[in-house]
Amino acid sequence: MSMIPREVIKELIKEHKFNNTNEVMSTIKEMFRDVLQEIMEAEIETELRYEKHERQSPKEPQESSKNYRNGYSQKTVKTQLGEVEINIPRDRKGEYEPQIIGKYNRSADGMEEKILGLYAAGMSQRDIAEQIKQLYDVEISPELVTKISDKIIPQLNEWQNRPLETVYPFVFMDAIHYKIRDNHQIITKAAYVVLGINMDGYKEILGLWIGENESSKFWLGVLNELKSRGIQDVYLFCVDGLNGFREAIGAVYPQAAIQRCIIHQIRASMRYVNYKDMKQFASDLKAIYNSVTEEAALDNLLEFKAKWGKKYPAAIKSWENNWDILSTFYVYPPEIRRIIYTTNIIEGLHRQFRKVTKTKAVFPSDDSLRKMLYLASNNIIKKWTQRYRNWDLVLNHLTILFEDRQVS
């Protein structure tokens, strides 16, 4: 490619008398716009076969030339120099399409937003490409879909590190597992999700982390990160049976109570039970977790052990070993019990995540999973417009129960 003649550059400098680089870039941008405009004028002249001020081709009879110019339409084009306003020539038949720009480069198309929307809905790269072909008549590659989705990573990181409120009365922690390609191998990793209910009674996704093995060290890092982002106190942590919760919570939030999900505990117990005993076993368990007081629950646990202990000792042992974090909810009134009794609130979130990730048998990287869950989260939280049911009663109880714990 030949360079711009030095004489032209000298004349340009003489005319504009540049004082800084911004003025240089601004002038180059204007030149770019003018060159782009002239190219489009040449394109439409070639297509219509007559120049700007002619109504028809002089070489053809009147009746054979029925298409001609029809003004301009203004578009904003994204370029490496920034956004440029241009006037695209129009023809009466609407057949002219500027080749120098191409459909993708026009910001008015909203193609990137459409691609991100389809990505957030869990569509595969191939399906996204087909949709874009139908909508815009533009061929895109899987690499382009990845490149466009990568643009949200800074936004994702900003969201993941955003400041949080000082106090969350309830925090739920759980994980959902996916297969991810890592160093030429396919391994199972977990997306760890922390969801909070704030003092106003609204749900928030506090963060998403991708990791291989949960442990007290892993959860310690997550909780320290939450504390550094502003959470100074949590009244109750609601967790499933993942490893490392107790130690990590005790180290970072020593005043917080822990409630293990009763539903997870029941499922864990039922794994040891023969199919023919399941119905009666589950019915007898209800007497324990439906008890009004912890004292009554312990009595029912003893009766349960006397009936099933010899046949299913591992199932009974699980309840005994975890009783201190299974029985937490007995201290609280029904309005709070209904919140902390189970981690269904976060499992509902996981069900929505599974809807958008079900087409992905394997994710190519940790970031690809993070991007999809983040985009899905944005769509999900738009629907979280109502505060938790009977929150006024819950808040009154919290005010009394935790009056020395920064309740506002």
Q: CA 26, CA 18: separation in Å to the nearest integer?
A: 10
The mean predicted confidence, pLDDT, of the chain is: 83
Q: pLDDT tens digits for 267-313?
A: 888 999 999 999 999 999 999 999 999 999 999 999 999 999 999 99
Mean pLDDT of 74-95: 74
Query: How does 286-303 read in b/e, with b if 16+ C-beta sit within 10 Å?
Result: eebbebeeeeebeebbee
Q: Give the mean pLDDT of 65-77.
A: 74
Question: What are the φ/ψ torsions at residue 187 (nearest 5 degrees)?
Answer: -125, 160
Overall average pLDDT of the 86-115 stretch: 67
Quick: pLDDT tens for 213-240: 667 788 889 999 999 999 999 999 998 8
Instruction: Give pLDDT tens digits for 309-346.
Output: 999 999 999 899 989 999 999 999 999 998 998 888 88
Q: Higher confidence at residue 179 or residue 407?
A: 179
**pTM (2 d.p.):** 0.70
Q: How far is residue 397's CA from residue 227's CA, in Å, rounded to a whole number?
A: 25
Q: Which residue has the higher pLDDT, 296 or 72?
A: 296
Question: Which amino acid is located at 62 in the chain?
Answer: Q
- For residues 239 and 245, the answer to whether their CB atoms sit within 8 Å is yes
